[in-house]
Amino acid sequence: MPTDAQAAISVLRNLHENLVGITGKLSADDVRRPSYADEWTIAQVLSHLGSGGVINKLNLDLALAGRPAPDQEEYLAIWDTWNAKSPDEQAADMAEADRALVETYEGMDESQLTTVRVPFAGMQLDVVGAARLRIAEHAIHTWDVAVMLDESATVDAAAIEQIVDLTPQVAGWAGKPSGENVAVQLTMDNPVRSFTLTSTDAVILEPGANPALPVVDLPAEAFVRLVYGRLDPAHTPEIARGEEFLPSLRAIFPGF
């Protein structure tokens, strides 16, 4: 049975292969089309994933070498490099940058998978934590591209399994009080989870049920997109219960 780290790395591999399959079909006109992400073209989303792959690999390489985290200037230089690429280069180069990161993870031995700590935003993450953050970035932005080509596109189910429990952390900075007091219980399947959301002066999403609150029962995939600001009415599946709360929830999670 694979470890948590091996399972997360396997998801990264599958996400990579899926995105390469999508981008391999894009024309020069396609990459210049708008993505779902506000103010970004498809090429710019792919550039973000490409530069993110380079930065994640830099952090991982330094961790494997037992060296300290890079200076912020190194990150800025990577972003500048990718921003200077043409749209065609951004789309084409993403695949290599993403592949290199995945292969670095795949090359780690059992000891490294359990002991290495990867620098990220002033924190030291274990391999599972670092990989899951990349899964979240990758899966959501892949959807930003895929949904512009196929309106029925959904976020990868295996990725949802890996990142649904990160949503309280994401909600802490992505959630914005809307001026309306909201308190609901969010229940879901695939995977089964319950969260309690309150929004007053701050947005707080916590694991666990609260039977005293009204229920919003929705697929986990839709819940994750909600927190990431990607559950507009045109891309909302059937909601089992609590559909009337969705406008209020969308206002709390405007996206980023």
129-184 pLDDT, tens per residue? 999 999 999 999 999 999 999 999 999 999 999 999 999 999 999 999 999 999 99
> What is the CATH classification number for the domain harbouring 193?
3.30.1050.10
For the chain, what is the domain count? 2
- Clarify whether residues 188 and 211 are in a common domain: yes
82-113 pLDDT, tens per residue? 999 999 999 999 999 999 999 999 999 999 99
- Clarify whether residues 111 and 194 are in a common domain: no
Residues 6+ positions from 187 with CB-CB distance below 8 Å: 193, 194, 209, 215, 216, 217, 218
In the prediction, which pLDDT does 169 show? 96
- Clarify whether residues 141 and 18 are in a common domain: yes
In the prediction, which pLDDT does 142 show? 98
- Clarify whether residues 195 and 113 are in a common domain: no
Q: How far apart are CA 174 and CA 164, in angstroms?
A: 15
- Structural domain of 29: 4-153
- C-beta of residue 106 within 8 angstroms of C-beta of residue 13: yes
206-231 pLDDT, tens per residue? 999 999 999 999 999 999 999 999 99
Q: Tokens representing 210? A: 């609260």
pTM: 0.96
In the prediction, which pLDDT does 187 show? 98
> What is the CATH classification number for the domain harbouring 93?
1.20.120.450
- Clarify whether residues 44 and 137 are in a common domain: yes
Q: Which of 178, 171, 167 is nearest to 252 (CA)?
A: 178
- Clarify whether residues 15 and 134 are in a common domain: yes
- Clarify whether residues 19 and 108 are in a common domain: yes
- Clarify whether residues 105 and 204 are in a common domain: no
Q: Which of 134, 100, 106, 130 is nearest to 117 (CA)?
A: 130
Domain's final residue, options 122, 153, 184: 153
